[in-house]
Amino acid sequence: MPPPVLCLSGLDPSGGAGLSADIETCRALDTHALPVATALTVQDSRNAVRAVPVATALLAAQLERLLADVCPAAVKIGLLGSLSQVKLISGCLRRLSVPVVLDPVLRAGGGGWLVSPVLARALCEKLLSQVTMATPNAAEARALAGCKGLDLAAQRLLAFGCANVLITGGDEPGEQVVNRWYRNGVAPRHYASPRLAGGFHGAGCTLAAALAARLAHGDQPAQALAAAQRYTYRALQGAYALGGGRRIPCRRRFGTRP
Ligand code: PLP
């Protein structure tokens, strides 16, 4: 059986980010996505302009029914729609002792904000302590931590109790994209790769879902990070233009090497 991965994310009608990214990535990495929509969004390949939360009572009923039947091997959390969703999911994670990846989606790559500052704060205060790996991009890390320096931002996020923080650098300038892995008491590890031309819609979701899939297979964090970044890079290399905006990662299976 492919290990099940509980995916709590927003639904993006362009199919680039959110739940579609999770489902495709999980499938490509031999896991089974359990897709639970947290929000419906209004967006295209250029930008997101609106996110409407799914009612928390409906989410609670879905989770109760699903988790009574299936035991996930990992959880991936993306866009969350409301404070009550954060509270519900925090309670749910307390009952599941499996790796959790949180992609703290605050803003679409096109610039549209999807999450209020109050909700962003709740992600830190109520969820981070239950998270195995948080994957903010540089702008999200700065916004969550309330500071400019990435090292300091990571230390502040770790101080909320999160075990690992990967700050992705796709949204930073430079010829290379540098992702930074932070843990308590260990020097940060940098992963540099040549920057691919153009912009991508759903790159962060792909990386976080790939991490959850590898953790569901039992990888240790270092192994999962290497495999997930390799997978995401290949998906971006094969990205295709769907509409007039950023390209969509090609989330297919790439050979046998995870
Ligand atoms: N919409 C949803 C539902 C998402 O989960 C995300 C995630 O990161 C985005 C939009 C933003 O994606 P991007 O920044 O790649 O455009």
What are the pLDDT digits (tens) for 89-139? 999 999 999 999 999 999 888 888 899 999 999 999 999 999 999 999 999
Distance CA 202, CA 78 (A): 11
Cα 186 to ligand 1 centre (Å): 30
Rounded to the nearest whole angstrom, what is the distance from the C-alpha of residue 17 to the centroid of ligand 1? Answer: 5
- What confidence tier does 255 reach under pLDDT thresholds 50, 70, 90? confident
Q: How far is the CA of 105 from the centre of ligand 1 (A)?
A: 7
Does residue 232 have its Cβ closer than 6 Å to ligand 1?
Answer: no
Q: Is the CB of 25 under 6 A from ligand 1?
A: no
Whether the per-residue pLDDT at 1 is higher than 90: the answer is yes
Tell me the pTM: 0.97
Residue 168 alpha carbon to ligand 1 centre in Å: 14
Answer yes or no: are the C-beta atoms of 138 and 172 closer than 8 Å: yes
Q: Is the pLDDT of residue 258 over 70?
A: no
Lowest mean pLDDT among 11-25, 28-42, 105-119: 105-119
Strand order across the 48-53 sheet: 48-53, 32-43, 4-11, 74-77, 100-102, 133-134, 164-167, 176-183, 186-194
Instruction: For ligand 1, pick from 205, 211, 232 the residue to mutate: most ligand atoms within 8 Å of CB.
Output: 205
Which contiguous run of DSSP H or E holds residue 257? none
Domains of the chain: 4-237 (3.40.1190.20)
Alpha carbon of 162 to ligand 1 centroid (Å): 22
Q: Is the CB of 9 under 6 A from ligand 1?
A: yes
Q: Whose CA is nearest to atom 11 of ligand 1?
A: 108
- Are the beta carbons of 21 and 207 closer than 8 angstroms? no
What's the confidence (pLDDT) of residue 198?
94
The ligand 1 atom nearest the CA atom of 47:
16
